[in-house]
Structure 1
Amino acid sequence: MRAVSVRQPWAWLAANGHIELLNFDWTTSYRGEFLIRAGLKLVKRDYRALATQLRDQLDIEVPDCDDEAQLPRGGIVGMALLTGTYVEHPSPLFRGPIGWTLSHAQPLPFTPFNPPHSGPDLHWFDVPRAAVGLSAIAAERMHS
């Protein structure tokens, strides 16, 4: 199954359905279900500034950046449907250059997973469904 790495708290926000847009610096023609992997990197100063902005502007409370139980890193945390990509979007979360719109997000139990290749040029990577305990039936629920 396709997957993409997203920094926290964006991975948590997307997987838990708090936001319906993620920002990337690359586009994709892919549309459909994908896994959300929380990346390993977290800059606490940046995280705290973002948490304050989300709370003040959008009334969204994110977990404390030291709470590894709620904010795990380095593994699969959820799945969603990618419904579109945009270079302009009215969402207050859009920072560009490319916004991905999501629907049917759902959290999954944390599963540590490091793709075979990582780095700044990492885009899509594959994760076996069995690696995250995801049955075809669970995936079908996303489409209903």
Structure 2
Amino acid sequence: MDSIPQFALSVRQPWAWCILHAGKDIENRSWGTRVRGPIALHAAKGLTQAEFADCLETIQTLSEDAPFPAGITMPTLEELQRGGIVGVVEIVDSVQQSSSPWFFGKYGFRLANPRPVEFVPVKGALGFFDWRKNLAKAR
């Protein structure tokens, strides 16, 4: 756990999985940020069937125009890890325009160097948060 950055950002599944495994290089938000550098990627606990289906549809649309890693297979809704830290990713910029096919928002956090980590159950929060302070709440 020492190699995981102090601050985390909560992202709903399966979008967090897409950041780590499917080349999602933008995290869409309604707000910009000055934060740069590595952050912990927290997978929010909530996930509806409609959200899952929306992500699948988006991936199918994008895969016609954008290359994805060979053999990409998204886990089922039940298999996706939720309610904890699932990876680390670097924020390299906050933009209002992007040529990335993943850009849909008013703002996008440009992401780089995603890497999965061993799952750490922890309660999420809005915005950037010190995830270690929430460890006891997850138990």
The CA deviation at 1:56 is 4.0
Q: Distance in 1 between matches of 2:52 and 2:75?
A: 10
- 1:55 to partner: Cα distance: 2.6
Unaligned segments of structure 1, at least 5 residues = 132-144
**Corresponding residue of 1:72:** 81
Return the TM-score normalized by structure 2: 0.79
Q: Aligned partners of 1:53, 1:10: CA distance in 2, in Å?
A: 10
1:72 aligns to what SS in structure 2? coil
Which of 85, 93, 96 does residue 84 from structure 1 map onto? 93
Q: What is the DSSP-based 3-state SS (H/G/I as helix, E as strand, rest coil) of the residue aligned with 1:111?
A: strand
Contact 1:17 1:105 in 2 (8 A): no
Whether the aligned pair in 1 keeps the contact of 2:37 and 2:91 (CA below 8 Å) is: yes
Stretches (4+) displaced over 4 A = none
Q: Give the aligned partner of residue 15 of structure 1.
A: 20
Tell me how far apart the structure 2 counterparts of residues 93 and 54 of structure 1 sit (CA, whole Å). 9
Q: Does 1:25 align with 2:30?
A: yes
Match of 1:106 among 105, 109, 115: 115
CA distance in 1, matches of 2:22, 2:48: 23
Map of 1:123 onto structure 2: 127
* Coordinate RMSD, CA, aligned: 1.7
The number of equivalent residue pairs is: 121
Cα distance in 1 for residues equivalent to 2:40 and 2:58 = 26
